[in-house]
A and B are shown apart, each in its own frame.
Chain A
Amino acid sequence: MTHATATANMMHPPAPAEPGSGVYSNKLGMWVFLASDVMFFTALIGSYIILRFGLSEPWAAPGAVLNVPLTGINTFLLICSSVSMVKAYAAIADGKKYFLRSVPGKMLQDGGLKFWMLVTILCGAAFVGVQVFEYFKLVQHGLTPAGFREGSHYAELALADPVKYGAATAGLFGSTFFTMTGFHGFHVTCGVVSMLYLYFTKVLPEKYSPTDFRGIETIGLYWHFVDLVWIILFTIVYLI
């Protein structure tokens, strides 16, 4: 085989499903990465459980320190972005590459890949924006990764009610909270940046087709996993 032929063969698109694993390499690779990410988040969540429930001193009531209604709205945003992602997947599987299209006899227009991907990106970006706002407010009121800042609003509240605000464990509360939600926020940010890249390089130029939309399925798996992790984090950090 000459060098030219070998190069030409390498340029051929891979088969949609490769023999052996039964799925194409991008998807298999994403699943293996997600399996490793399960262990990564387990290390964080497991450490949190042990640190929190292994202590004899009281832990701050999440509702007293954290803004649960705001985070509830953020959780709703992430769930919406997950459903819009799967709608984007379904749209391209049906060959709907367009943004919006009128359907005879229906009031609402039918969304295509371009529309649902944009909704996903906007919801994801809004989630990160709300999280940054939440961090800003928490730090402003005195919650830092090192605990309650001296002289701050939270420090005064903790002095008045050390049990409700977990005065003795504020350092652990702050460090575990910012580490877990921070790493999750980093995952969301990476997802939004990746989707923006796909949107401008593949979705808008209509490079995906019903027979090959590997990028959409692969980024979709990542995005749903980020949603799944948030479901767990929201429960154990904000509700328990």
Chain B
Amino acid sequence: MSEHVRPNYILIWAYLFFLTVIEVAAAFLSHIPKHWLILILVVLAVVKALLVAMYFMHLKFERWRLRLIFIIPLPLAAILVLATITEKIW
């Protein structure tokens, strides 16, 4: 890992905790329409996953060539799901 200013890990933990509380509250205590709820929950989950990847896994501080190893499968994963959905539609 390259040298960098160390992030405040406890602050990241607090973000993850509060985002999880918001997720559970939105899912069970709110009256948001289902389509909007799914969108909100997915966005919150992606934000939490990014926090873990960027700060706990230190991807934010790594070189691009290492980041690419993790990023390249993501569009492939999307293609895999979309291709299967297309098959279902046909």
Determine whether the beta carbon of B52 is less than 8 Å from that of A39: no
Give the number of residues in B that approach A within 8 Å (Cβ atoms). 41
Known contacts being A21-B65, A22-B66, A86-B9, is A227 close to B52, with CB within 8 Å?
A: yes
Dominant SS among interface residues on chain B: helix
Known contacts being A76-B17, A83-B13, is A46 close to B84, with CB within 8 Å?
A: yes
Dominant SS among interface residues on chain A: helix
Determine whether the beta carbon of B13 is less than 8 Å from that of A79: yes
Determine the chain A residues whose CB is within 8 A of the CB of B10 once the complex forms: 83
Q: Which residue of A lies closest to B34 (CB)?
A: A240
Determine the chain A residues whose CB is within 8 A of the CB of B85 once the complex forms: 49-50, 54
Determine the chain B residues whose CB is within 8 A of the CB of A45 once the complex forms: 81
Chain A 31-52, CB within 8 Å of chain B: the 1/0 string? 1101110110011011101100
Determine the chain B residues whose CB is within 8 A of the CB of A83 once the complex forms: 9-10, 12-13, 56
Query: Which A residues have a C-beta under 8 Å from some C-beta of B?
Result: 21-23, 28, 31-32, 34-36, 38-39, 42-43, 45-47, 49-50, 54, 63, 68, 72, 75-76, 79-80, 82-83, 85-87, 90, 217, 220-221, 224-225, 227-228, 231-232, 234-236, 239-240
